[in-house]
């Protein structure tokens, strides 16, 4: 087998729809064509929308369609566990390293503040994205927000200067775009899930 590993990572929030099955099939066929592996990872990070038995139903549907994972929560494998909720300790350790190295930071923006930020950006004709307002908080500023009881998320810290980003895509080749199109994405939500 080659080193190619592709994955299908559905959320157990309901029945698998045809678009999800199509994505799984494409990944499965690509892995088989390349002599690689097809991995099933369950992205159970949305605890509010979790549906009991959705994971079991999705595995049954993949089996019915002949889209059989090489690794997954129901069969195991060398990179277990395959449910994100069972990997939280790994994610938390990685986030702590990123925070310590300055590659991530805590953001205390409320959903209302984020919505207002996006509306104002769109009204100005700008790309709606996080503006980085909490990326350089001082320790006393963070302590004050925490004393207010504000929950935080952890965001990745992108370089502040605009850079050219290159991605090698198997289909499209080398794709270039400006880092100005990106924002500091959330790595860890306030509930402790990625």
- The pair phi, psi for residue 28, each rounded to 5°, is -60, -50
pLDDT confidence of residue 2: 64
Q: Would you say residue 1 has pLDDT above 70?
A: no
**Tens of pLDDT along 82-140?**
999 999 999 999 999 999 999 999 999 999 999 999 999 999 999 899 999 999 999 99
CATH node for 5-82:
3.40.50.620
- Do residues 132 and 105 touch, judged by C-beta distance below 8 A? no
Alpha carbon separation from 59 to 9, 16, 128 (Å, rounded): 12, 10, 37
> Rounded to whole angstroms, how far apart are CA atoms 162 and 164?
7
| Paired sense of beta strands 37-40 and 164-169, if any | unpaired
Q: What is the mean pLDDT of residues 142-157?
A: 97
pLDDT confidence of residue 3: 85
pLDDT confidence of residue 72: 97
> Rounded to whole angstroms, how far apart are CA atoms 107 and 105?
6
Cis, peptide link before residue 81, omega less than 30° from 0: yes
Record the pTM.
Answer: 0.84
**Tens of pLDDT along 57-72?**
999 999 999 999 999 9
Q: By 3-state DSSP, what share of the chain in percent is helix, strand and coil, each rounded to 5?
A: 40, 20, 45
pLDDT confidence of residue 71: 97
Q: Is the CATH number of domain 87-188 3.60.21.10?
A: no
Domain map (residue ranges) of the chain: 5-82, 87-188
Q: Would you say residue 20 has pLDDT above 80?
A: yes
| Paired sense of beta strands 5-8 and 37-40, if any | parallel
Q: What percent of the chain has pLDDT over 70?
A: 99
Q: Would you say residue 157 has pLDDT above 70?
A: yes
On average, the pLDDT of the chain sits at: 94
pLDDT confidence of residue 159: 87
């Amino acid at each position: 087998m080659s080193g190619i590993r592709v994955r299908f990572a559905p959320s157990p929030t309901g029945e698998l729809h045809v678009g999800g099955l199509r994505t799984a099939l494409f990944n499965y066929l690509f892995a088989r064509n390349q002599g690689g592996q097809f991995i099933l990872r369950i992205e159970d990070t949305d605890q509010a929308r979790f549906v009991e038995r959705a994971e079991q139903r999705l595995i049954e549907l993949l089996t019915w369609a002949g889209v059989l994972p090489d690794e997954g929560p129901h069969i195991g494998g060398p990179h277990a566990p395959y449910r994100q909720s069972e990997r939280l300790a790994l994610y938390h350790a990685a986030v702590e390293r990123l925070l310590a190295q300055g590659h991530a930071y805590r953001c205390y923006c409320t959903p209302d503040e984020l919505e207002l930020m996006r509306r104002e950006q769109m009204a100005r004709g700008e790309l709606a994205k996080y503006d980085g307002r909490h990326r350089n908080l001082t320790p006393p500023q963070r302590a004050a927000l925490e004393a207010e009881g504000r929950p935080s998320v952890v965001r990745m810290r992108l370089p502040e200067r605009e850079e050219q980003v290159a991605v090698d895509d198997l289909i499209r080749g080398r794709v270039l775009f400006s880092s100005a199109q990106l924002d500091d994405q959330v790595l860890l939500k306030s509930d402790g899930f990625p």
